[in-house]
Structure 1
Amino acid sequence: MLSLIVFLPLLAAAVLAAVPAIGPAAARWAWVVVSVVELLLVGVLWAGYEDPGPNGLAFEEQVPWIPGVSSSYHVGVDGLSLPLLAMTAVVFLACAVYALRDADRPRVQAALFLFLQGVSLGVFVAADLILFFVFFDLSIVGMYFVIAGWGHGSAARSALKFFLYTFLGSLALLLGFIGLYVAAAPHTFDIPELVAAAPLAGDPLTGGLVLAAILVGLAVKTPTVPFHTWLPPAHTDAPAIGSAVLAGVLLKMGTYGFVRIAMPILPEAWRAWAWVIVAVGVVSVLYGAFVALAQTDLKRMIAYTSVNHMGYIVLALGAAGVLAEDAAQARSVAVTGAVVQMVSHGLITAALFLLAGVMQDRAGSYDMGSYGGLAAPAPRYAALFAVGAFASLGLPGFSGFIAEFQIFAGSVAVAPVTAVALLGILVTAALFLRALQRVFTGPAAGHTPGFEDLRAQELWSAGPLLALSLLIGVLPRVLLEVIEPASAALVSLVGR
């Protein structure tokens, strides 16, 4: 089942790329159909999922691949990866719907996004370090061509900066993976075997160096301060659907690598670095929020809120490595909140980037000062953007509140100093309310006259993402009952 989920979009991408006779409409609808099938397959997976227990994987498949280095095609899911698998399928379907009217090389675009979908899903099911790295690197290549091929402004420069930064990070990641392979006895790249062996336990120097390499590689992709500088230009110049996938899916590969690889395989080093990781998380939260507040470009503002929101995740995962008496439950809550935040940020920020793309489509500008009173000609657009803004700032009733409440409840219990990051929520509220006032209220100005309200494909792409955020906020148990056992198992591994 997992192999079908990963390779179906890759096969569809190959067919679309190899058959020029496929027309524009057929290519666009093929992308939508494949994405619907993917979502249904993930739904079947979710319905049949049973917690595999500590260090176990459900729906596991393993086939020898590179036997000389003990690397295999090994895939599986647990409570940490299944929610991200579902979120990925939802975000790509939303992008496929949004692009239904896109007339710019639709066949090539559909093929590229289906390729990106397949490799993204591959990252979240990989149970072998080399397989993880292959999918991880291919996602960088796919996004480079998305930004360079369909972006605007300084797209070529932004795409190059994105590629060089993230590819350099992936080289550091590969170096860390080789370090784990060399330290393991017997040598292996298999993630469950490495988790069980904890190969660098008792060697703090080597363990710290290997963890540093892995952290740098994943931090660039996340991104955290100071590795974030590629993100704002990449988002600003990418097409709307490219920004939605970049923020909604690709950024999660970094934080997912923390919980899948760094924390369980290098528990001793993670505990030793915990306060550094907490500090990086707090700085990212505050820096991202304050810099976003200073922006006049709507898309750039949303990009900096991603630095802020990903900082919450890093903060919580760092706190999970701070050992304190009778704090296992609190640490588990922090990890659960971090995984919920990955899903929540993916849904909400993808929706916000799709809605920001409407401005580019209508007027060719993201400058908030070029609009005003937009709620009058575009009430549906104003309403949906307001919902996205309130969801992003963590208003109760949305998934962001569930995530942030758990992050701070768990983190403050083991590291009270993390309470300073609560200021980031206040600043985020201020920046979104300011954006709503500048763009949607007051007298009509600039590009507002004649601004067309949301079209059907725009409404039915961003709308369901925000509806899912609302559903999680009201009925979080469906998601939490999958994540919580895996979070408890991860905390147990980190504390051994």
Structure 2
Amino acid sequence: MNQLGFPILTILLAVPTFAAIACLFADAKAARWIALGATLVDFALGILLWVSYQVGGPQWQFVEHIGLFGSFGWSLGIDGIALMLIALSVFLMPICVLASWQAIEKRVPEYMAALLLTEVFMLGVFMAQDLYLFYIFFEAGLIPMYLIIGIWGGADRIYASYKFFLYTLLGSILMLIAMLWMVNFAHTTSIPVLMNTDFPPHVQTWLFLAFFASFAVKMPMWPVHTWLPDAHVQAPTAGSVILAGVLLKMGGYGFIRFSLPMFPEASAQLFWLVMTLSSIGIVYTSLVALVQSDMKKLIAYSSVAHMAFVTFGLFAFNRQGLEGALMVMLGHGIVSGALFLCVGVVYDRLHTREISRYGGVSTNMPRYAMLFLLFTMASVGLPGLSNFPGEFLAMMGTYRASSIAGVIAVTGIITGAAYMLYLYRRVAYGPLDKPDVAAMKDLSPRELLLLVPLALVTIWMGVYPESFMAPMRKDVGVVLARTDRAWKGGDAKVALNAHPTPAHAEGAHE
């Protein structure tokens, strides 16, 4: 179904593709404007996509298909889950271009082209309805990000870029082998068809583990998370925003699009594995974040901890957990991107990320301190801000599946408050006794243009999360319909909807 009557998804991919080519033939100034214009056009198309999406309508909308050879074809389409992740991507990309406006001074046309190609491949992952097309987009996204880190990164950029590339590529080789077997079994590459295919239970375990090897690295889950802090520290600010804001979400999207609906028996059987790794990850990375002296590395470890909430919720096998995990993905995409931009603001002035070099900036940078505080509170999970609805639902769903995992998830909230408030206190408060810190100027109009839209969305998600949850609700039900047959129930003695009222019955499940 394509209610708009024109191939909007293909256009969303074509605009940054042609803009990237144009950037390579332009000078630095023109390349910046071309990249900004293309990302703003995609943002406008993303708004049109959201407004035109029929909540409660057909599962797959804006479908496009052109057969190429065999069962493989240019096949695009989205559901509510993909819609929200596309909206997140097109919202962050103009901000990334503006964040690079002055920070990137060498090879600007090539940088803007790499940034635009990253957008193409990210959007393609969420749109693809063909298994092989998904894999192409999923893996191709490594290339421009590898270049962004390796060419425009920090002093250890080569090490970080190689580590990023090798970690993410090696896990995906197993996924490709599993895909080849699935296509041979089902005689189709259509993702919607494969989502309803009943693979033999004894084979599902191996297929699940093959996909898990790729998605766990992408999330990233403990213990395959070590590439992320290095990549974040070395990447330019816009690279960190894309990494934390969107690329990490590809792992969660993979779990909910492939692992849960295609391998429900294996997902239930290996529930203990995901919960164990998530529990260790949320405790370990939170404690590591507490002892960091580098601002970027602290926020990078906090990203690993927040992604543990996502895997907790996804494998809780109930509506609260799944909806919470998706909301955490969206909220974390906004807040972590904003926090990396806040680090970039002070790094551009002082050229250091050491927490000890700052202090008292709320005196001479009040606008910066106010916005930084807002994003810090959102990261902590303060009610009324973006991360609270998702984390609350994810913990509720996790407790219903495993009371032990639910208790461990709560420790992530406590330690998260500790390391984020520690960071904010050391940077914003205390005596302003360092001359170079005292000389720093408050946010420029360009920097306000970066941070204020993120602040508004942070508040919007916290105050009215239903506008983000409504498009995804029916698709969450589709996944649950596949997993319910395999899930035997959790250990918690709670039944949240044992006596649902008519007002709540529509959103209830089980």
**Is TM (by shorter chain) over 0.5?**
yes
Q: After TM superposition, give the deviation of residue 76 of structure 1 in Å.
A: 0.7
Distance 2:208 2:55 in 1: 28
SS in 1 for 2:66: strand
Q: Which moved more, 1:102-111 or 1:421-430?
A: 102-111
1:13 and 2:20 matched: yes
Q: Which moved more, 1:134-143 or 1:300-309?
A: 134-143
1:113 alignment partner in structure 2: 115
1:294 alignment partner in structure 2: 291
1:404 and 2:391 matched: yes
Q: After TM superposition, give the deviation of residue 52 of structure 1 in Å.
A: 6.4
Distance 1:156 1:457 in 2: 30
1:254 and 2:223 matched: no
Unaligned segments of structure 1, at least 5 residues = 321-330
1:49 and 2:46 matched: no
1:188 alignment partner in structure 2: 188
1:416 and 2:403 matched: yes
1:148 alignment partner in structure 2: 150
1:179 alignment partner in structure 2: 181
Would the aligned equivalents of 1:52 and 1:78 in 2 still touch at CA under 8 Å?
A: no
1:120-173 alpha-carbon deviations (Å, 9 max, x no partner): 100111111111111111111111000011111211111111111111122122
2:348 alignment partner in structure 1: 361
Distance 1:286 1:129 in 2: 35
Would the aligned equivalents of 1:299 and 1:356 in 2 still touch at CA under 8 Å?
A: yes
Distance 2:86 2:132 in 1: 19
Instruction: Give the 5 Å matches for 1:281-430.
Output: 281-320=278-317, 331-420=318-407, 421-430=409-418
1:491 and 2:491 matched: no
> Structure 1 length as normaliser, TM-score?
0.93
Q: After TM superposition, give the deviation of residue 66 of structure 1 in Å.
A: 3.3
Distance 2:349 2:189 in 1: 49
SS in 1 for 2:196: helix
Distance 1:32 1:5 in 2: 14
Amino acid at match of 1:439: V
1:245 alignment partner in structure 2: 242
Would the aligned equivalents of 2:56 and 2:474 in 1 still touch at CA under 8 Å?
A: no
Distance 1:267 1:419 in 2: 22
SS in 1 for 2:437: coil
1:80-135 alpha-carbon deviations (Å, 9 max, x no partner): 11000000001111111222234333222111111111111001111111111111
Would the aligned equivalents of 1:71 and 1:189 in 2 still touch at CA under 8 Å?
A: yes
Q: In structure 1, which of residues 217, 225, 230 is the aligned counterpart of residue 227 of structure 2?
A: 230
Q: In structure 2, which of residues 217, 220, 223 is the aligned counterpart of residue 220 of structure 1?
A: 217
Q: CA RMSD in A?
A: 1.4
Distance 2:118 2:412 in 1: 32
What is the number of equivalent residue pairs in this alignment?
475
Q: In structure 1, which of residues 462, 469, 472 is the aligned counterpart of residue 461 of structure 2?
A: 472
1:261-314 alpha-carbon deviations (Å, 9 max, x no partner): 111111111111122212222222222211111111110000000000100000
SS in 2 for 1:227: coil
2:96 alignment partner in structure 1: 95
Would the aligned equivalents of 2:156 and 2:234 in 1 still touch at CA under 8 Å?
A: yes
Distance 1:128 1:462 in 2: 36
SS in 2 for 1:453: coil
1:327 alignment partner in structure 2: none
Would the aligned equivalents of 1:351 and 1:388 in 2 still touch at CA under 8 Å?
A: yes
1:361-412 alpha-carbon deviations (Å, 9 max, x no partner): 1111110011111111211221111111111111111110010111112221
1:9-34 alpha-carbon deviations (Å, 9 max, x no partner): 111111212x1xx2322211211111
Q: After TM superposition, give the deviation of residue 53 of structure 1 in Å.
A: 5.9
Would the aligned equivalents of 2:55 and 2:470 in 1 still touch at CA under 8 Å?
A: no
Would the aligned equivalents of 1:351 and 1:462 in 2 still touch at CA under 8 Å?
A: yes
Q: In structure 2, which of residues 424, 428, 444 is the aligned counterpart of residue 436 of structure 1?
A: 424
Q: In structure 2, which of residues 11, 28, 31 is the aligned counterpart of residue 27 of structure 1?
A: 31
Distance 2:110 2:219 in 1: 28
Q: After TM superposition, give the deviation of residue 179 of structure 1 in Å.
A: 2.7
1:86 alignment partner in structure 2: 87
Q: After TM superposition, give the deviation of residue 415 of structure 1 in Å.
A: 2.0
Unaligned segments of structure 2, at least 5 residues = 1-7, 486-510
Amino acid at match of 1:97: L
1:323 alignment partner in structure 2: none
1:38 alignment partner in structure 2: 42
Would the aligned equivalents of 1:371 and 1:445 in 2 still touch at CA under 8 Å?
A: no
SS in 1 for 2:64: strand
Q: After TM superposition, give the deviation of residue 445 of structure 1 in Å.
A: 4.0
Instruction: Give the 5 Å matches for 1:112-131.
Output: 112-131=114-133
SS in 2 for 1:448: helix
Amino acid at match of 1:43: I
1:137 alignment partner in structure 2: 139
Instruction: Pick closer, same or farther for the CA change 1:482–1:409 going to 2, 3 Å.
Output: same
Distance 1:462 1:176 in 2: 42
Amino acid at match of 2:10: S
Would the aligned equivalents of 2:56 and 2:471 in 1 still touch at CA under 8 Å?
A: no
